[in-house]
Amino acid sequence: MKDYKEISITEICREAKVSRTAFYKNYKTKEDVIKDIIIDLNNVFVNEVGSPFTKLDKEYYKFFLSKVFEYKDVILFMNNTGFKDGYLQITNKIILGKESNKNVSKLQKLIWNGGIQNIINYVLSNDLEYDIDEIATTLANTIRIEG
């Protein structure tokens, strides 16, 4: 898979079956497309799984991880196109902007986001055969945020 920096707008338009005019009506740059994908994916997680800063127990992580594996291809796309750091920056802004739990500090949110993304990226990128139950148990016992 190409690094996103090597992918041209023309290639994106050809793959999406849209004209360059249609592309530029919606986006200024190809990075804007990726940002939209990240925001959409984050919204899916928040809407389907809920805020991570309410109850971080094993059941939360099991459901969260089932969604991670469901969207594995999109997450790997972000990693493989060289946009992993951009993904982290965008999700940090989203998480810091949420008013989900006033008792959780910004630092706690950043630690959770960075830690969880590191684990997800490592497991998915290395195609590791972990059991969701095992990962959920480890996360619930390791990453605790008491609000």
> Which carries the bigger pLDDT value, residue 72 or residue 77?
72
- 129 versus 114: the higher-pLDDT residue is 114
**3-class SS string, the chain:** CCCHHHCCHHHHHHHHCCCHHHHHHHCCCHHHHHHHHHHHHHHHHHHHHCCCCCCCCHHHHHHHHHHHHHCHHHHHHHHHCCCHHHHHHHHHHHHHHCCCCCCCCHHHHHHHHHHHHHHHHHHHHCCCCCCHHHHHHHHHHHCCCCC
| Residue range 20-66, pLDDT digits in tens | 999 999 999 988 888 888 888 888 888 888 877 777 788 988 999 99
Inform me whether the pLDDT recorded for 147 exceeds 60.
no
Q: What angle do CA 108, 126, 44 make, to 5 degrees?
A: 50
